[in-house]
Amino acid sequence: MKAVRYLLIAIVAIIILAVVAIAIAMALIDPNDYKPQIEKAVEQQTNLDLKLEGDIGWSFIPLGLELNNVSADLEEKRFVALEQLVAEVDFWSLIAMSPRVSTFVLDGLEANLEVNKAGEGNWTRIMRESAPGEDDAPAEQPAEQPPQETASGGEPLNFNVENVQISNAQVHYTDNSTGQAVTLENFAVNASDITLGSEFPLEISFQVDTTKPQLKVDGSINARLAANEALNDFAVSGLKAVFDMSGEPFGGKSVTAELAGSAKANLENETATLSGFTASLANLALSTELEVQGFGDKPALKGNLNIQEFSLKQLLGNLGQPAIETSDPDVLKAVAFSTDIGGSPGTAALANLTFKLDDTTFNGSGSYTLADGGIVFNLQGDELNADRYLPPKAEGEDAAASEEQQTAEAGSAGGSGSAPESDLLPLETLRTLLLDVDFGLGKLVVSNLTINAIKASTTAKNGVLKVDEFSGKMYEGSFGANATIDARSDNPKWTIASNVTNVQTLPLLTDLAEVDMLGGGANLKVNATTTGNRISVLRENADGQISFNLAKGEFRRMNLTRMACQGIALVNQEQLTTTDWGATTPFNDMSGTLDINGNTLANKNLVASLAGMKLEGQGTVDMKQTTLDYEAGLRIVGEVHRDPACRVTEYVENVVIPVECRGNFSEDPAGLCSFDGSRFRDTLKTIAENAAKAKVKKEVDKAKDEAEEKVKEKIEEKLGDKLKGLFQ
C-alpha cells in the first residue's frame, strides 16, 4: 500500500512540476519575439501572407490567448483580418474535464471571398500545391483508437462558456461569373452563461446587402436557447426576430418581417414542436401550433395554422408590387385561411379548412401523402362572382380585343411574324401527378353567366387526368360533362362528352355575348375527341358530333314569315299591305346535328317547324375564321299570314322560299340572314311546275265535271221516262 501511495504522490508531484514549468515558461517567454518565425511558417505551408502587426499575449491562469491587428493576404489581396481575438479557458476546469470558457471575444473580423469568372473560389487556393510525387507515398494508418468514454464514468461532457462577444464582423462575397455581390456587415453576437442543460440568452444582429437584385436586410434576433449535455435536445424560447428589408424586390419601399414564439426538438426521440409561433410580413400575419412525431419518411403532424384576415391589395402595395386592377375595386380586401393539421404518419392532413375570399367562403379538407405525393382535396364554396376579379375594360377594348383575337388566331395558324405557340400541359408533371379533388360551388357568376349547384370531380393517376363530373344548373336547365386527357405520350389524347338539358338560350346568350337572336329550351349532346398539346393543333385534330334540339323557341331580330310572304307576294303578283311584321319568328321545334371536322362544323339536317312553314337548312361554320356559310329554306306547308298578298294558293304550296346566312358571326350576327334572290329562280321553276299541274288538273276537273253532268242528265231523262210509265 505504501508503494501505491508513493506512486500517487510522485504523479501529483510531476503534474505540479509540469504546471509550474509551463507557468514559468509563459511568464518568461514573450510570443511577440517569434512573430517572424510564425509568419514565415504560415507562408511556407500556405499561399497566405500573414501579418502580425499587433501584440500577442497569453496567460496561464486563466489559460488564454490574445491576438491584435492580424491580417492575411492572398495573391496580394486582403483575404482575412481581425482587430482583436481573446480566448480564455479556466485551466482547472480542463483538469476536471469540465471545460469552462470564461471569455471569447472576436472584434473587427473581415473576410473577402471571391469567385473568378471560371467559377473558382479564392479560398480553394489557400493551401500550396503538393510537390510531384509527394502525395504518392502511402498515408500512415493511425492506430485503432479505443472507444472514447465520456467523463465521470460515461457521463456527458459538461461545457460552459461565461461570455461570447463577436462585434464588427463583416464578410464580402463577390462572384465575377454572375456579377453578384453579397456583403455581411455589422455582424454581432452576444451570449453569456452558456451552460449545457440550462437556458442562456442570445442576441444576434447583422446587415446584408446584395447587388442582384439590389437588396438590404437589417436583422436582429433575440432568444433564449437551451441544449442538454448530450446535445440531442434543443429548445428556443422567447424568440423575437425582426428583419427590415428594402430594395428592388420591394419597389424601393421598406418592409418589416417578424418572427416570434418557441420551439423544441429532440433528436433521439425524433420529436419537434412549435408553440405560439407567429410570423408577419407587412400586413400579413400567420400563427401556428405544431407537433411533429418522427423525422423519417412518415412523420406524424398535429396542430393548426391560421392566417388572419388581410387585404391582398394592401399587402402588394406594402411590398412595392404592382397593383392588381379589378373590375370591382372592393375585392381582394378580405382574405383569410385557417385549418387543423393532423393525419396518420406519413400524411399531412388538413381538416376544418376554411378559406375566405371577400364575400366567398370555402370549407373542406385535404391531405398530402409524402410517399407518393398524392393530393386529396374536398372543397365546397357558397357564392363567387368571378367577373369582379377580372381586369376592368377600357373604352374601346372590345374592338381591340376582337382584333387581337384575330391576330392570335392567325398566329396560331403559323402566320409569319407571329409569336411561337406554347404548350398547354406540362406533360412530365402531369405523368407524376396523383390527384383526387372534389369541388363544389353554390353559385358562380363568370362572363356574366350565372351557374348554380356546380359540382366537379377530378382524378389524375399514371399520366391520365379525368374530369369524372362537371355539372351544374343554369337558366332553368342543367348541364353535365366529363373529359379525359391521356398524357402518357407526347401527343396527348382528349375525349370530351357533354349533355345540356332545357337551358334557355335567350337569357344565356344575352348574358354571355349580348346576343338576343335565339330563344328556347336547348338540349345538346357533344361527343368529341382530339389530340395535341396546343390550341391550334387541338382544333385541327378535332373530330366528333354535336346533336341539338331547341323546343318552343323563337328567332329574334329577324322575321322569317315576312321573308316568306315577300316571295309569295311575288308569285301572286301582288303587293304586301302589312307594315307591322314584328321582330320575332316563333317555332315549335328545331333540331339537327353538327359534324366536327377540325375547325369546321358541318350541318346537313337542320329542321324547324314554323307557322305554316318548315325551316330546312344546311351549311358550315368555320370556328377559326368565325364565319358562317349557310343556306336555309322556308317550305310552305300551310297558311303563313293573313295578308291577302301572302295567301297560299296551289301555285306556292310546298314551295321553298330561300334564305341565306353568310358572314362573320362575331361582328354582325343580326345581319347574317336575308332573302336569297339568286336561289329564287329554282323556286320560280317549282311555282311554274305547280301552276302547270294546277292548270292540267283544272282542265281535267272541268272535263270530268262536264262528263258527269251529261251522264246525270241522261240518267235523269231515262229515269223520268220510267217513272212516268210506272205511274201511268
Confidence of residue 688 (pLDDT cuts 50, 70, 90): low
Q: Using the CB atoms, write b or e for 247-266: b if 16+ within 10 Å.
A: bebbeeeebebebbbbbbbe
Rounded Cα distance between 407 and 409, Å, is 5
Is the pLDDT confidence value at 343 over 50? yes
Is the pLDDT confidence value at 66 over 60? yes
Q: Which letter does DSSP use for residue 703 in this model? A: H
The label of the residue with cell 396518420 reads 344
Confidence of residue 348 (pLDDT cuts 50, 70, 90): very high
Mean pLDDT across the stretch 358-387? 94
Is the pLDDT confidence value at 76 over 90? no
Q: What is the mean pLDDT of the chain?
A: 81
pLDDT of residue 103: 82
Is the pLDDT confidence value at 102 over 90? no
Is the pLDDT confidence value at 12 over 60? no
Confidence of residue 403 (pLDDT cuts 50, 70, 90): very low
Rounded Cα distance between 83 and 110, Å, is 9
Q: Are 661 and 619 in contact (CB under 8 A)?
A: yes
Residue 131: CB atoms within 10 Å: 7
Backbone angles phi, psi at 474, to 5 degrees: -155, 135
pLDDT of residue 658: 81
The label of the residue with cell 491584435 reads 68
Give the residue among 460, 463, 462 at the shortest CA–CA distance from 490.
463
Q: Which of 43-57, 427-441, 635-649 has the highest mean pLDDT?
A: 427-441
Choice among 63-67, 295-299, 316-320 with the minimum mean pLDDT: 63-67
Cell of 81: 483580418
Rounded Cα distance between 408 and 109, Å, is 60
The label of the residue with cell 323556286 reads 683
Q: Which letter does DSSP use for residue 140 in this model? A: P
Q: Are 184 and 154 in contact (CB under 8 A)?
A: no
Count each helix (H run) and each strand (E run) in the chain, helices first: 11, 32
Residue 582: CB atoms within 10 Å: 11
Q: Using the CB atoms, write b or e for 167-186: b if 16+ within 10 Å.
A: bbbbbbbbbeeeeeebbbee
Is the pLDDT confidence value at 106 over 90? no
Rounded Cα distance between 18 and 24, Å, is 10
Mean pLDDT across the stretch 299-305? 94
Is the pLDDT confidence value at 37 over 70? yes
pLDDT of residue 38: 75
> How many degrees, rounded to 5, is the angle at CA 425 between CA 424 and CA 431?
170
* Percent of the chain as helix, strand, coil, to the nearest 5: 25, 50, 30
Rounded Cα distance between 146 and 163, Å, is 34
Residues 6+ apart with CB under 8 A from 126: 46, 47, 48, 74, 79
Mean pLDDT across the stretch 215-232? 92
DSSP state letters, 216-261: EEEEEEEEEEEE-TTS-EEEEEEEEEEEEEEEGGGTT-EEEEEEEE
Confidence of residue 462 (pLDDT cuts 50, 70, 90): very high
pLDDT of residue 695: 58
The label of the residue with cell 375525349 reads 495
Mean pLDDT across the stretch 585-593? 87
Rounded Cα distance between 375 and 429, Å, is 14
Q: What is the pLDDT of residues 131-177, one digit of tens each?
A: 555 555 454 555 454 444 444 444 455 567 788 899 999 999 999 98
pLDDT of residue 5: 53
Is the pLDDT confidence value at 411 over 50? no
More confident residue, 630 or 8: 630
Choice among 65-79, 194-208, 665-679 with the minimum mean pLDDT: 665-679
Ramachandran category for residue 678: left, alpha or beta (phi over 0 → left; psi -120 to 50 → alpha) = alpha
Confidence of residue 271 (pLDDT cuts 50, 70, 90): very high
Is the pLDDT confidence value at 532 over 50? yes
Rounded Cα distance between 691 and 688, Å, is 5
Q: Using the CB atoms, write b or e for 198-231: b if 16+ within 10 Å.
A: ebbebebbbebbbbeeebebbbebbbebbbeeee
Q: What percent of the chain clears pLDDT 90, i.e. is strictly above it?
A: 40
Is the pLDDT confidence value at 92 over 80? no
Cell of 410: 392567325
Is the pLDDT confidence value at 511 over 70? yes
Q: Are 531 and 494 in contact (CB under 8 A)?
A: yes
pLDDT of residue 705: 59
Cell of 663: 358572314
pLDDT of residue 332: 95
The label of the residue with cell 392532413 reads 349
Is the pLDDT confidence value at 677 over 90? no
pLDDT of residue 94: 54
The label of the residue with cell 231523262 reads 717
Q: What is the pLDDT of residues 40-49, one digit of tens each?
A: 877 888 888 8
